[in-house]
Amino acid sequence: MSSKSSKRIGGEYGVVRAHLDVYKLNTYIKAHVPVVSAPAEVQQFQFGQSNPTYFLTDAKGKRFVLRKKPAGQLLSSTAHQIEREFRVLSAVHMHNTNPTTKPDQFVPVPTPYALCEDSSVIGTPFYIMEYLDGRIFNDTRMFEVAAKDRRECWLSAVQALAALASLDPAEIGLGNFGPLTDYFPRQIKSLVRVSEAQARVVDVDTGKATGKIPFFDEMVDWYRKNLPNEKKTGLRVVHGDYKLDNMIFHPTENKVIGILDWELCTLGSPLADLANLTQPWAIEAKNIPEDPLLKNYNLLNAFKNTTKDVPIPLEDLEREYCRLTSQAYPINEMTFVRSWMLFRLAIISQGIAARFARRQASSEQAFVHKRLFPVVGNLAKVVLEDEGYTIGNKPKL
């Protein structure tokens, strides 16, 4: 490994921004979580847009992670579901510790320890899990490490995803974890409703509405008319937010040791996770506005039609995924999936903008999303236009 990676990479924590009652937390821990030696000191991780996430150090110096729902009235009944997060972590952990599980079937996750659904403890439900000491790359370009390490880390991310996509939900106790119908029609139905509600949220100071995603109605109409055939992959466990900064890599080896942030997990098409992971390759720099705030935002790294700072060719990632999941390359459905996952990201970004409007967002960077979500919505549209589709009244030139 490069010497540049000797310093800590990602996972920074500090002062608590979203406050909780530490005394009540420690009282609960002492009574219900024997693996943690109370009293525990509490700090908060700097990154994380949705569920406030805390770094715990117990009386013996052992470290843990606590995740909770945001305080206040929530806009979406499908987001922030830390109870579902805990359930899927528990199921995957049991799969990993099953003596019959082969090494290539191992899906790296932190060990979950306790779920508290009693809101009277710290204001919302929460759970406590293992702290994994490793590297979190918040920038998909991975400047902290050498070119060889970047390539190996990305391939490891694909290998971990392929292992997840190979799980049979019923065999690990998740057969009823989500609806058994096709994933993308469900996503469209639920997220359209969420986005419409988010668009109406007004800022507590300015009184201005969050606003709609550009070409929202036209895009939704296209998705409904061009649904992919999901029978090719079957129903699988979908992480829902599978991307580089939701993984912890080994401190010195280029392999994933933990997949984080499972709150959006459900049953559906594994191609959604593949598209989400490889999203930078769907974005071209020319389609990002000349806005300094957005140009420096890692979420909009653009790998399409360039080799500059690109850690690995997209074809290498997709061929490896196809090899590990025993399917043909290329995957024809990826145009739809890439566009939808960007559109979905626009809805998620719009949600953060709406929570910021209500001053409920947990991230220090939440204010960016008021300007970000319309841009991401347009990127979803461009993916389709680049493949010859016409959205709205403007034909492709």
What does DSSP assign to residue 138?
S
> Does the residue 106 lie in any domain?
yes
The β-bridge partners of 266 are: 238
Residue 132 DSSP symbol: P
User: Does any domain span residue 391?
Assistant: no
Host domain of residue 322: 136-386
Residues 271, 335, single domain; the answer is yes
Length in residues, the chain: 397
Residue 153 and residue 122 share a domain? no
**What pLDDT was estimated at residue 83?**
93
Q: Do 96 and 194 belong together in one domain?
A: no
- 167 and 284 in a single domain? The answer is yes
H or E element in which residue 83 lies: helix 82-97
157 and 125 fall within a common domain: no
In a domain, 178, yes or no: yes
CATH number of the domain at 357, please: 3.90.1200.10
The pLDDT of residue 394: 53
| CB distance 1 to 254 below 8 Å | yes
- Give this prediction's pTM: 0.89
Q: Say whether both 183 and 126 belong to one domain.
A: no
The total domain count for the chain is 2
Residue 43: which CATH number?
A: 3.30.200.20
Residues 240, 357 within the same domain: yes
In a shared domain, residues 92 and 191: no
- Which residues face 58 on adjacent strands? none
The last residue of one of the domains, among 131, 154, 183, is: 131
Asked whether residue 153 falls in the same domain as residue 59, the answer is no
CB 134 within 8 A of CB 257: yes
Which amino acid, residue 128?
I
In a domain, 154, yes or no: yes
Q: Tell whether 392 is covered by a domain.
A: no
209 with 339, same domain: the answer is yes
Q: Is residue 3 part of a domain?
A: no
Q: What is the DSSP string of 359-379?
A: T---STTGGGHHHHHHHHHHH
Q: Tell me the CA end-to-end span of the chain in Å, nearest whole number.
A: 47
Q: Are residues 123 and 264 in the same domain?
A: no
CA pair distance 252, 152, nearest whole angstrom:
12
Of the residues 131, 146, 162, the one at which a domain ends: 131
Q: Are residues 231 and 379 in the same domain?
A: yes
CA 54, CA 129: separation in Å to the nearest integer?
11
Peptide bond into 39 cis (omega under 30): yes
Give the orientation angle of helix 183-199 with respect to helix 334-357, to 10 degrees. 30
Distance CA 86, CA 342 (A): 26
Which among 153, 70, 65, 157 is positioned nearest to 114, based on CA atoms?
A: 65
Residue at 4 is within a domain: no
Q: Mark which of 87, 116, 131 sits at the end of a domain.
A: 131
Block mean pLDDT (10 aa), the chain, length 397: 50 70 97 98 77 94 94 56 94 98 96 97 95 95 97 98 97 96 96 96 93 97 97 95 96 97 94 98 94 78 96 98 97 97 95 89 77 96 96 60
Is residue 171 in a domain? yes
| Inter-residue contact 250 to 157 (CB < 8 Å) | no
